[in-house]
A and B are shown apart, each in its own frame.
Chain A
Amino acid sequence: MIFWIVLLAGCILWIVLPRIGVLAHYRTWRAARERERLEDALKHLLNREHLGRHATPESLGGALNLSRTAVMRLIEQMEEQGLLETRGMELHLTAEGERWALHVVRAHRLWERYLADEARMPLAQVHAEAQRREHALTADQLDELEAAMGYPRRDPHGDPIPSRAGILPDAEGTPLTAWPLDIPGRIVHLEDEPAIAYEQILAAGLHLGQTIRVLERTPQRLTLSDGENEYRLAPAVAANVNLAPLTEVEAARNHTIPLSDLPLRQTAEIVAIDDALQGFTRRRLLDLGLTPGAVVYPELQNAFADPRAYRVRGTLIALRQDQAARILVRPQSLN
């Protein structure tokens, strides 16, 4: 009998205890959900404003997958908090609303950068994961994340990351559909929405920093080449890929091979580290002396030929092949 009373009391405590009880957990969870919905709404408004169109209750409901009454309640609530104003059917962000929205965009893109660089998550997954995590950090924590990654300017798709002060540079480059034929360009931006188009771009094997040229353009498709492989994209998909002119370094990349392809015991000079390799890994490689101009000599390999050890500035340093593939070198003539 006593046992049952104790058990019952335990269960009740477990449910109602402040902070650690089930109810408290549920309340925190609900508050977090609400905040997420609010922030997603802000992001939608900001997005529309950048496209030069204004959001409406319909567009908001569509983006957040909400019923009409729920949307109206949300809008009312946001108006009360001074985040948006309604002008007729149009929804406008207030200054406060825009500041918050930029914070969320900043969080999202920093997370994407982090997940791609430091956690090495496949690119097709980072958007969804960042979508989940973007609501969790405070502005100060974001600053720390940003500093830890060395102030990246763009997310892994090439979108600009707003600064803490809320300055948001425009996406750079020219869409493939408007790029002149046969002029090499560097991929500077891959639009990650809609996801279907983005997946097609990734599936084709295109990535940021790649140098390509447009060989042929018909209404049905574009044919591209990076010198080795040919790629075919539908124009609707190709419009989501932006190119920029080559810089001097990239122009000098001819006659280079990835370090991973350099034969064992052949000296070479480092030309560049691939732009797609960013964050901690890039800085670590540079700090170890793998800077452009340095001489490398692959001295050892293990039984699996991965990793290999390179003599760089007097020290033997082992790198995995997938990292070495991101370092471009120019082999020195044998004599």
Chain B
Amino acid sequence: MTTPDEVLARAEALRNRLPSSFRDEIVQSLYAEAEQIARRAVKTPENRQYDLDQRIDRLVTAPVSGLLIMLLLLTVVIWLTVSGANVISDLLFTLLFGFGDWARALFVAWGVPWWITGFVWDGVYRSLAWVVSVMLPPMAIFFPAFTLLEDLGYLPRVAFNLDWLFKKAGAHGKQSLTMMMGFGCNAAGVIATRVIDSPRERLVAILTNNFVPCNGRFPTLIMLATVFVAAGFGGAAASLIAASAVVAVVLIGVAFTFLMSWVLSKTVLRGEASAFTLELPPYRRPNVLRILYTSLIDRTIFVLWRAMLTAAPAGAVIWLLANISFGDGSLAIAIARWLDGFGRLLGLDGAILLAYIIAIPANEIVVPTMMMIYTNAGMMVEAPGSDSAIRSLLVDQQGWTLLTAINLMLFSLLHNPCGTTIITIFKETRSYKWAAMSVVITLGTAFIVTFLTATLARLAGWP
């Protein structure tokens, strides 16, 4: 009777007798056989006509046209997302907040204690409604658009075009795709890193994904760019300047991605770039219905659900902070004051830092939380409607300068991932260490960069 160990020992002995290239030979004989069978069963035309695919490929990978097409598509997708989302967002906002006000009035009419009404409707519900109305529309536009490009077969070409840059940073070309996904949502970008085989390069992609601003951060960036950077310019020039400021911030983010990838691959994630094999599949007509369904169900609802799970408790915390009295104001104001010194050091202020701390579940509620602290309101409030009203609130009453605005843009770009993303990073890496690392790296960078700009600006005697 043979025992398992005998069989294994025999296998090892036989293996050592074979030439060391025998694995190569197995693959070789498989392909040789496949070739032979295919030759008998497949008839290919003698003169294959010049393929449309090939013509498209040359166009999208050529130095100039390739780059232009890539930038154009990215701009179109982001523009569609941002402008299209505004319309739906406003609609959802009216709807959800209308319902909230109605339900709140109902509670008041029933004589429910104020703190229950406040906690439920001004805290938890408001935060949920805010996240849904700000987060859902951009994702509902961005993800289908992205999936469309993916199913067309265009995305692998992007990885192909950009791989050289990633190689220089010790990373993988497919990281470009996870970054593009990050524009939609960093949590989705982190999940998308599954397309990268090598664990080392995948970790690089995961840890740097947050340097790409997601949908949740775009409104903040755009608001700051329009109200502060483009202030003083009129008409078309203003919107051009604002747009360039946003693009500049995005480019800074991309630069940081490369820089941090390079640093990581020279330090904690040492090693050269590994096997890079990328199939460029033929272009295929996408199935629009399926794209809509899958990107809405699989990606959007999934991400939204995770965000809601973290936003509800955040809403509760925010409401509590704003409604528990402490000294001569609320607890929120007290903490903001306490943080102010450190905030000023970074060219920001205490209210901004506090907003970022308690709005960790979702970047969408940072601005309303900030406004809540500034106006000393009992709940999250929308920024004033007009540019001049925002300016008067922030500049005249809170002492903001252009430096505050620029540093806030930088901080918003570089700061730690939102709660959803951190959880996703943990789930994908199954390691507390890397999840913590993703926070340390980004937050460290944000502190250092804003501190440097603030110090330099002050040394130069600027505001």
Contacts and interface: CB of A to CB of B under 8 A. Distances in A.
B280 A318 contact: yes
A292 B24 CA distance: 9
Question: Binding site of B, secondary structure by majority: helix, strand, loop or mixed?
Answer: helix
Contacts of B162: 302
A80 interface: no
Interface stretch (B84-92, B101-109, B268-276, B321-329): B268-276
A119 interface: yes
Interface residues of A, number: 45
B383 to A, nearest CB: 41
Contact of A291 (B28, B61, B173): B28
Given A121-B272, A300-B58, A318-B163, A163 B279 contact: no
A319 B61 contact: no
Report which residue of A167, A288, A300, A301 has the largest number of chain B beta carbons within 10 angstroms of its beta carbon.
Answer: A300
B162 to A, nearest CB: 8
B28 A120 contact: no
A307 B163 contact: yes
A209 to B, nearest CB: 12
Contacts of A82: none
Contacts of A286: 23-24, 27-28
Given A288-B277, A303-B63, A121 B12 contact: no
A299 B198 CA distance: 26
Interface in B141-198: 156, 160-165, 167, 173, 198
Interface stretch (A37-45, A178-186, A277-285): A277-285
Contact of A287 (B27, B156, B276): B27
A99 to B, nearest CB: 16
B67 interface: yes
Given A300-B57, A302-B163, A307 B274 contact: no
B54 A299 contact: yes
Contacts of B279: 315-318
B278 interface: yes
A293 interface: yes
Interface in A266-313: 273, 280-289, 291-294, 299-304, 306-307, 309, 313
Nearest to B274: A120
B267 to A, nearest CB: 14
Interface string B54-95: 100110011100110000000000000000000000000000
B403 to A, nearest CB: 37
29 contacts: A118-B198, A118-B274, A121-B271, A150-B23, A153-B16, A282-B24, A284-B275, A285-B275, A289-B31, A291-B24, A291-B31, A294-B31, A300-B57, A300-B58, A300-B61, A303-B61, A303-B66, A304-B165, A306-B163, A307-B163, A307-B164, A309-B280, A313-B31, A313-B35, A315-B279, A316-B57, A316-B280, A318-B279, A323-B276
The 6 A-B residue pairs with the shortest CB-CB distance, nearest first, are A120-B272, A303-B63, A304-B164, A119-B271, A281-B275, A316-B280
